[in-house]
Amino acid sequence: STYIGATEGTDGLLMRLDPEGQIVWKRRLFTDMFGATDVMHGIAVNSNGDLYALADLGRAGVDFFMLLQLDPTDGGVAFSKFLELSAGTTLDVVAGYAGLVVDSQDDLHIAGEFNGPSRNEILLFRCSADGSLEQSERWSENDAAAGRFFGGLAIDASDNLYLSTHSALESGSALRA
C-alpha cells in the first residue's frame, strides 16, 4: 500500500492507495478528531507496517507537535501524543516546518522548528514505536537575533540522520544529527 499525507484547508488529510492507485480509504484528521485547525507534516511506516503521522495542532494561537499512530486498515487512531520536552512542557512550534522518519530499529525521529526564548530553534526528538520520548536535542544560533530555521529531515540506510537548516547568518547547512 501507499500512503499520502497532506493538508487540506484546515485539516490533515491521509489516504491509503492500493497498488493500482485506487483510494482504499481517505481520512480527514484533526477536525473530525480534535476540532482544531491543524497541519499535517509527514507520515512514516515502520517495519511492522505501523503507520505514523506528525502534525501540529493550533490552540489559542499556540501550535503543538502531535504524534499519531494510525491503523493502516482504516486510518483509525491507535494513539495520539503531544511531544513534550518534559512532562507538561509542550512547545510553541512554527507551523509548517517539521519532518518525520523511521529508522531500522523502528524508532521515530522528528525534527521541527519552534519558538525559543528569543528566536526560532530546531528540535530533534527520538521516540519509541509507542510514542515515548527517548531523546531530544536542540540547535540554535549563538547570535540571539539570528534564529535557526528548519529545512528538512532525512535518514540513510545506516540510520544516520541529516537536518537541513538555515539562519540569518547562513544560506543553508546540513547537520548530521
Asked if residue 38 lies in contact with residue 30, where contact means CB atoms within 8 angstroms, the answer is yes
Q: Is the dihedral of CA 68, 72, 77, 79 positive or negative?
A: negative
Among the residues of the chain, which ranges form H helices? 31-34
5 beta partners: 14
Position 150, amino acid: F
Question: Which pLDDT score is estimated for 109?
Answer: 93
Tell me the three cell numbers of residue 44: 512514516
What does the DSSP assignment read for 82-111? E-EEETTEE--EEEEEEEEEE-TT--EEEE
Question: Which pLDDT score is estimated for 115?
Answer: 65
Question: Which pLDDT score is estimated for 129?
Answer: 92
63 beta partners: 58
pTM for the model: 0.80
Burial of 125 (0-12, 13-18, 19+ CB in 10 A): buried
Average pLDDT of each block of 10 consecutive residues along the chain (177 residues)? 75 86 84 59 90 76 76 88 61 65 95 68 86 80 60 90 75 59
Dist CA 13 CA 139 (whole Å): 30
